[in-house]
């Protein structure tokens, strides 16, 4: 149980003791090395988010909150207007790092509202309020993870086989995780699951991170290639699919790591429940359908060269490398947040859910 505690309460994103830095675990180095990075500049923070050194929607939001706070402390301004203008420049710069992940813009806009709402209180007081707000974002995330885990666990049975895609565990959040949270919470309560983790090409978050977290916590995990998901479902080894999300449209379409929609199609064919788990902050009611979600395109080298000693494809070949895909709402059994479980029709349940 000690290893489980260490995994579920990992200190992966935190405000530096000097309150002028953000300290993160560099997730690109896992599982071979556990390396902490200290971020001090806008470029440091942008690069950490863009290069997936910090990743997972909730963790990105926490990092953004801490990041914009430490940058605010560096602003030299003679008045509120100058301060606000520079603050918004930092906000827009950081927000451009990962356009699909709504928690990034959500956290940055939340911090900006603190600035906009207290213009009469002086810059020193605004900085104090910004510090309180970024720490509150992290505290709320800890409570959110526990609540999502509770709701998700209510849908599972002891001994279930679970398939998951990408990584939505403690490394992607502040505590238990979202999609993996029910598994860790169940383990705490003596439940056993048999988890099949997709490797999640091309960046291998499932292989490097999910299998690492689950094995370290003593949860039965089997790593599979992405194209093996159909076979393990056909074999009857999967009773539920659990995945995270980076954005949820008003109609229930969800954006998640590339390959998620294929898992959903397979689950629908084999009659397996497909659950999406994430914080209510990922619900974007201003986004009507998944067609409006901007999908981030990444470097061709992630497919051809990354993780290989030498290139695995011809240098001249073209590559298409979207970071995310959109799972149609018709393929999703339920969407689970810290506020409860949403069922179709999502245009109704998500609107009610978001307003709670």
Peptide bond before 201: cis, by omega within 30 degrees of 0? no
Contacts of 13 (CB under 8 A, 6+ apart): 22, 23, 24, 25, 54, 59, 62, 63, 66, 138, 174
The number of beta carbons lying within 10 Å of the beta carbon of residue 348 is 12
Burial class (CB in 10 A: 0-12, 13-18, 19+), 205: buried
* Residues that are catalytic: 246
Token pair recorded at residue 33 = 């090395």
**Quick one: tokens of 205?**
């978050």
Are 226 and 193 within 8 A, CB to CB?
no
Give the phi and the psi of residue 340 in degrees, each rounded to 5: 140, -160
Q: Six-digit token pair at 201?
A: 């090409």
């Amino acid at each position: 149980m000690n290893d489980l505690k260490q995994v579920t309460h990992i200190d992966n994103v935190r405000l530096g003791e000097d309150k002028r830095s953000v300290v993160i675990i560099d997730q690109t180095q896992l599982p071979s090395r556990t390396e902490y990075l200290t971020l001090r500049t806008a470029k440091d923070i942008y690069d950490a988010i863009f290069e997936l050194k910090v990743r997972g929607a909730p963790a990105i939001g926490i990092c953004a909150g801490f990041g914009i706070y430490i940058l605010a402390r560096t602003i030299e301004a003679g008045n509120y207007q100058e301060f606000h203008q520079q603050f918004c420049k930092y906000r827009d710069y950081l927000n451009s790092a990962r356009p699909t992940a709504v928690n990034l813009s959500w956290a940055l806009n939340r911090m900006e509202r603190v600035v906009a709402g207290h213009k009469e209180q002086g810059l020193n007081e605004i900085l104090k309020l910004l510090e309180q707000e970024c720490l509150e974002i992290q505290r709320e995330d800890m409570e959110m993870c526990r609540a999502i885990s509770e709701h998700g666990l209510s849908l599972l049975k002891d001994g279930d086989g679970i398939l998951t895609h990408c990584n939505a565990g403690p490394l992607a959040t502040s505590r238990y995780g979202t999609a993996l949270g029910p598994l860790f919470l169940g383990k705490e309560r003596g439940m056993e699951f048999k988890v099949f983790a997709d490797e999640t090409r091309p960046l291998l978050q499932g292989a490097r991170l999910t299998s690492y977290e689950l094995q370290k916590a003593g949860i039965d995990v089997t790593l599979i290639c992405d194209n093996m998901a159909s076979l393990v479902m056909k074999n009857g080894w999967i009773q539920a699919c659990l995945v995270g999300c980076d954005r949820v449209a008003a109609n229930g379409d969800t954006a998640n790591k590339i390959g998620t929609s294929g898992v959903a199609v397979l689950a629908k064919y084999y009659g397996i429940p497909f659950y999406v788990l994430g914080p209510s902050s990922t619900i974007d009611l201003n986004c009507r359908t998944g067609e409006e979600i901007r999908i981030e395109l990444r470097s061709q080298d992630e497919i051809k060269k990354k993780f290989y000693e030498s290139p695995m494809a011809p240098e001249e070949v073209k590559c298409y490398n979207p970071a995310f895909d959109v799972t149609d709402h018709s393929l999703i059994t339920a969407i689970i947040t810290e506020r409860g479980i949403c069922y179709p029709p999502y245009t109704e349940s998500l609107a009610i859910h978001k307003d709670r």
